[in-house]
C-alpha cells in the first residue's frame, strides 16, 4: 500500500504585491535549493488548516489565517504520493525567521518570482500566483 501525505502551502502577499518565498535547504531530500511557499506536511489527526498555520509559523515565525483555497495538485515520489493544497493566507507582516530547513527567504515581486527555480509541485500553479502580483 502506498502512503499519501497532505502538504499545505501558504501564499502570503504583502502590500507591495510581493509573495513570501523560501529556498529549500541544500540538504533537503526533495527539491534541494528550489523555491517554495511556506508550509509542509499535515500531521496524522491534525486538521489541515491547523497544519498549515503550524507549518507556516515553524518555518517563518509568522502567524497566518487562511483566506481561500487557490488550488491543489499531487506528486508521485514512488514510495509515497504528496497531495499539495495551496491556500491564500493573511497575517501580520513582520520579521521573517527561517529554520535550517531553508537557506533563505525573499519577498518576490512578479518579475523575480517568474525567474525563480521553484519546486515541481509549484510549476503548474505559478501563473495563478503571478496574476495576483
Summarised one tens digit per residue, pLDDT across range 83-122 is 999 999 999 888 999 988 999 999 999 999 999 999 988 8
In total, how many domains does the chain have? 1
Summarised one tens digit per residue, pLDDT across range 65-76 is 999 999 999 888
Q: What is the pLDDT of residue 1?
A: 72
How far apart CA 108 and CA 49 sit, in angstroms, is 24
The domain spanning residue 79 has which CATH number? Answer: 3.90.79.10
Helix extents (H) in the chain: 48-60, 110-115, 120-123, 126-130
Paired sense of beta strands 35-36 and 3-12, if any: unpaired
Full residue range of the structural domain in which residue 123 is found: 3-130
Amino acid at each position: 500500500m502506498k502512503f499519501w501525505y497532505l502538504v499545505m502551502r501558504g501564499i502570503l502577499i504583502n502590500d507591495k504585491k510581493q509573495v513570501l518565498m523560501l529556498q529549500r535547504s541544500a540538504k533537503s531530500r526533495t527539491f534541494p535549493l528550489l523555491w517554495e511557499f511556506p508550509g509542509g506536511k499535515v500531521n496524522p489527526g491534525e486538521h489541515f488548516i491547523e497544519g498549515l498555520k503550524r507549518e507556516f509559523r515553524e518555518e517563518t515565525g509568522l502567524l497566518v489565517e487562511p483566506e481561500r483555497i487557490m488550488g491543489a495538485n499531487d506528486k508521485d515520489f514512488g514510495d509515497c504520493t504528496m497531495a499539495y493544497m495551496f491556500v491564500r493566507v493573511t497575517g501580520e507582516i513582520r520579521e521573517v525567521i527561517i529554520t535550517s530547513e531553508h537557506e533563505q527567504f525573499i519577498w518576490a515581486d512578479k518579475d523575480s518570482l517568474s525567474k525563480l527555480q521553484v519546486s515541481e509541485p509549484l510549476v503548474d500553479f505559478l501563473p495563478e500566483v503571478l496574476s495576483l502580483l
